[in-house]
Amino acid sequence: MTEETPWEVQCDNAAWAFGQQCREFKKSNPYDLVVLDRIISTLMTELWDNGFSQTEIRSAFEQAVADMPRYAAGLEKRSDGPY
Please compute, for residue 75, the number of CA atoms within 13 A of its CA located in the half-sphere on the CB side: 7
Cβ atoms 47, 57 nearer than 8 A: yes
Q: pLDDT digit string (tens) for 32-81?
A: 999 999 999 999 999 999 999 999 999 999 999 999 999 898 898 887 65
Q: Which of 16, 13, 39, 14 is nearest to 26 (CA)?
A: 39
pTM over 0.85: no
Dist CA 40 CA 60 (whole Å) = 12
51 phi/psi in degrees, rounded to 5? 95, 5
